[in-house]
Amino acid sequence: MALYTGKGDGGTTKLFDSKSGERVSKSAAVFEALGTLDELNTFVGWCRSACVVDWMVEQQPISAVLFEVQQHLFTIQAELAGAKKHIPAKNVKELEARIAYIEMQLPEITTFFVPGGSELSSRLDVTRAVSRRAERRLVAVTEDGRKLSEFTLAYANRLSSLLYALVRFVNHKTGTTDTPPEYV
């Protein structure tokens, strides 16, 4: 199998649910969303590769939690491209349970924090920001008329919260103090 076909050289491509012969501009909102999800998945993998000390979140190491997120991102991409795939409600509930577990380990949030800390928490912060952008792209696509399951959108919304919780969790585990902004 070749890595390229040359069919997209004119700036168009196909989705899973494209009608026979129908090609779509690569500048369409759906491809912006797909590209952002691909970028997000890459950043999650970048975080996973930095799990030198693999702290446990409930019964799973952080690297396993992140790998599971990557699998779910592939499902979201497939759904977005028109495959008969979607995120089930249980995946959203699992994210919520992980977020709640992490929050119980940490002091209450009373302010924003300046990003940075350990290598892993910094990577997670960048990934959190990309996750928020991916969610916005998904919302834009649904506003353009593409259907996504309610649980897919809920998962996208919770994912940035999970990543933020992991930022704080990793900083806590490494003894890094979360520093509030000074607003100078």
In tens, the pLDDT along 117-162 reads 889 999 999 999 999 999 999 999 999 999 999 999 999 999 999 9
The pLDDT of residue 6 is: 80
The pLDDT of residue 52 is: 85
Among candidate residues 87, 95, 157, 169, the one with its CA nearest the CA of residue 125:
169
Q: Are 161 and 99 in contact (CB under 8 A)?
A: yes
The pLDDT of residue 57 is: 86
Q: Are 121 and 170 in contact (CB under 8 A)?
A: yes
The pLDDT of residue 179 is: 87
Which residues 6+ apart lie within 8 Å of 109 measured at CB?
168
The pLDDT of residue 3 is: 80
CA geometry: angle 136, 140, 144, nearest 5 deg: 170
The rounded distance, in Å, linking the Cα atoms of 114 and 103 is 18
The rounded distance, in Å, linking the Cα atoms of 146 and 157 is 18
pTM score, whole prediction: 0.91
Share the mean pLDDT of the chain. Answer: 92
The pLDDT of residue 34 is: 96
Render pLDDT for 96-114 as a digit per residue (tens, 0 to 9).
999 999 999 998 888 889 8
Render pLDDT for 155-179 as a digit per residue (tens, 0 to 9).
999 999 999 999 999 999 999 988 8
Please state which of the four CATH numbers 3.40.50.620, 1.10.10.10, 1.20.1200.10, 1.10.3720.10 is assigned to the domain occupying 27-174: 1.20.1200.10
β-bridge partners, 56: 61
Residue 144: phi and psi, rounded to 5, are: -85, 0
Does residue 13 carry a pLDDT above 80?
A: no
Does residue 53 carry a pLDDT above 90?
A: no
Give CA separation, 107 vs 29, 41, 48, 77, 160, in Å.
Answer: 39, 29, 25, 35, 19
Residue 16: pLDDT band by 50, 70, 90 thresholds?
Answer: confident
Q: What is the number of H-type helices and E-type strands within the chain? A: 5, 4
The pLDDT of residue 178 is: 85
